[in-house]
């Protein structure tokens, strides 16, 4: 993965396909911090990432009420959603332990974290109108 990459997608299918390509490159211990407005396409991207790590993307849903879902494939995918919590409550989820567990950790609404993880990849999805999304992928150092 390059230190900074910008991708434009023009449909949910393209966003999911980009996620799949990204998922194929992930290694154990990878952490992705997703940022974007409601409806930007974060969960669609996670479905693609799931497919890229050997999971059925149809099993992936936004864990808004569960907070963290776990899926097992080529790599274990931990999918967290911080939409309903922030601050100290985030620390209680044990995300740092999940990040170190040897799987892949994807955190939606990562901008609600009190502090980002070092060496994570930050992915910002911006709705450019209609179905067009700009996806900025950058190393978080």
**Higher model confidence: residue 63 or residue 137?**
137
Tell me: pLDDT of 140 over 70.
no
Tokens linked to 37: 């407005």
- Determine the pLDDT at residue 4: 87
Average pLDDT, the chain: 88
Polymer length of the chain: 141
Lowest mean pLDDT among 10-14, 80-84, 104-108, 126-130: 80-84
Among all chains, which residue has been given the structure tokens 């930050």?
122
pLDDT digits (tens, 9 = 90+) for 86-99: 777 887 787 887 77
Show the CA angle centred on residue 27, arms to residues 24 and 29, nearest 5°: 140
Q: Are strands 31-36 and 104-108 parallel, antiparallel or unpaired?
A: parallel
- Determine the pLDDT at residue 63: 59
Tell me: pLDDT of 36 over 90.
yes
- Determine the pLDDT at residue 122: 95
Residue 59's alpha-carbon distances to 20, 83, 92, 97, 126, in angstroms, are: 15, 20, 25, 23, 25
- Counted domains in the chain: 1
Closest to 47 (Cα-Cα) out of 18, 74, 89: 18
- Determine the pLDDT at residue 57: 87
Range of the domain at 92: 4-140
- Determine the pLDDT at residue 2: 59
Share of the chain above pLDDT 90, in %: 56
Q: What is the CATH number of the domain that holds 47?
A: 3.40.50.300
Tell me: pLDDT of 138 over 90.
yes
């Amino acid at each position: 993965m390059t230190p900074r990459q910008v991708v434009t997608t023009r449909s949910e299918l393209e966003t999911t396909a980009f996620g799949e390509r990204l998922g194929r490159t992930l290694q154990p211990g990878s952490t992705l911090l997703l940022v974007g407005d409601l409806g930007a396409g974060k969960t669609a991207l996670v479905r693609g990432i799931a497919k890229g790590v050997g999971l059925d993307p149809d099993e992936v849903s936004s864990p808004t009420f569960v907070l963290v879902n776990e899926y097992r494939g080529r790599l274990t995918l931990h999918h967290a959603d911080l939409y309903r919590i922030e601050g100290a409550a985030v620390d209680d989820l044990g995300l740092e332990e999940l990040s170190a567990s040897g799987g892949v950790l994807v955190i939606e609404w990562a901008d609600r974290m009190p502090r980002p993880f070092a060496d994570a990849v930050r992915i910002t999805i911006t709705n450019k109108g209609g179905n067009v999304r700009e996806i900025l992928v950058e190393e978080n150092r």
